[in-house]
Amino acid sequence: MAEQAVSGLGRCTHAVVRGIPDSFSQQALRSRDCGEVDLARAHREHELYVRVLKDKLGLQVLELGADHLMPDCSFVEDVSVILDETALITRPGAPSRRREVEAVKKALQDLQLNVVEMTDENATLDGGDVLFTGKEFFVGLSKRTNQRGAEILADTFKDYAVSTVPVCDTLHLKSFCSMAGPNLIVIGSSEGAQKALKTMQQMSDHRYDKLTVPDDAAANCIYLNIPSKGHVLLHRAPEEFPESVKVFEKLKDHMLIPVANSELAKVDGALTCCSLLINKPSNE
Ligand code: GLY
């Protein structure tokens, strides 16, 4: 039954990432004007992000080529939700992003995951709206994700409870929250973030610990549990969010890895957006 299933949150052997196309700075979708994107800097930040996954954490990283006709293609998180051996290929909410699924689908098939496609034309789902806690899913109902998308996710991952959370002021649910450990939700301080957390708490049978950070954008972190390293948290850099980083520094059991993300953030890109994380120990 849904309540009994527990996945090894953060366990990860592989990652899929995708390069940044030249069209990124001018044409990537953005919810508001946050200033001009410095493309060279975006490339550097993305390169460092990939190096952390590959060299520092020892993941097998599959790097897909950028496609200039798909300005948002680096945000691979939105096109698939992966849990254990199953990858749900989503139907992204922005029509301009729908073709991004093809290359990712092929990569996940090549990794021999059980690939399930969201073909219902009434459904939309962005992976950025999907928070998996290890015990259950929360799905943000946003401009990009609708109820039908959440239903198909629930049909795909039948062992887990799926609850929906309205998301109004930001692009995605994970624009202001993420997991920092098996039972620990990181949450931003804005009214919208706090309201969403309250909704999640009301809908869940589990009592999660929370880590509140002053900046919503800093609440999007990547938690990994790597056998040789233990709890690992990739979080935004102190130059970007010094007050939020002070909060992360209280996590004494975690290996903390600051990662700058200033340029991708200008087009609503968060840390989780740029990778699909897969646990496939048998392929090592
Ligand atoms: N730029 C990320 C998105 O809008 O999907």
Domain limits of the chain? 2-278
The C-alpha angle 73, 75, 76, rounded to 5 degrees, equals 85
Cβ 125 under 6 angstroms from ligand 1? no
Residue 30 Cα to ligand 1 midpoint, Å, equals 6
> How far is Cα 283 from Cα 157, in angstroms, rounded to an integer?
22
Per-residue pLDDT in tens (0 to 9) along the chain, 284 residues: 344 466 689 999 999 999 999 999 999 999 999 999 999 999 999 999 999 999 999 999 999 999 999 999 999 999 999 999 999 999 999 999 999 999 999 999 999 999 999 999 999 999 999 999 999 999 999 999 999 999 999 999 999 999 999 999 999 999 999 999 999 999 999 999 999 999 999 999 999 999 999 999 999 999 999 999 999 999 999 999 999 999 999 999 999 999 999 999 999 999 999 999 999 986 44
State in Å: Cα 31 to ligand 1 middle.
Answer: 8
Alpha carbon nearest to ligand 1 atom 4, residue: 29
pLDDT at position 7, please? 66
Closest ligand 1 atom number to CA of residue 94 = 5
Residue 172 annotated to the active site: yes
* pLDDT given for residue 3 in this prediction: 43
What is this structure's pTM? 0.96
Query: Does the annotation mark 46 as catalytic?
Result: no
Pocket test residue of 18, 20, 24, 30 for ligand 1, highest count of atoms within 8 A of CB = 30
What whole-number distance in Å separates Cα of residue 76 and Cα of residue 283? 21
Q: Return all residues near 133 (Cβ < 8 A) that are at least 6 apart.
A: 9, 179, 183, 185, 206, 208
**Which residue type occupies 40?**
A
29 ligand 1 Cβ < 6 A = yes
Q: What is the pLDDT of residue 80?
A: 98
What's the whole-number average pLDDT of the chain? 96
How is domain 2-278 classified at the architecture level of CATH? 5-stranded Propeller (3.75)
| β 60-64/14-18 pair status | parallel
Q: Is 94 in the pocket of ligand 1 (CB under 6 A)?
A: yes
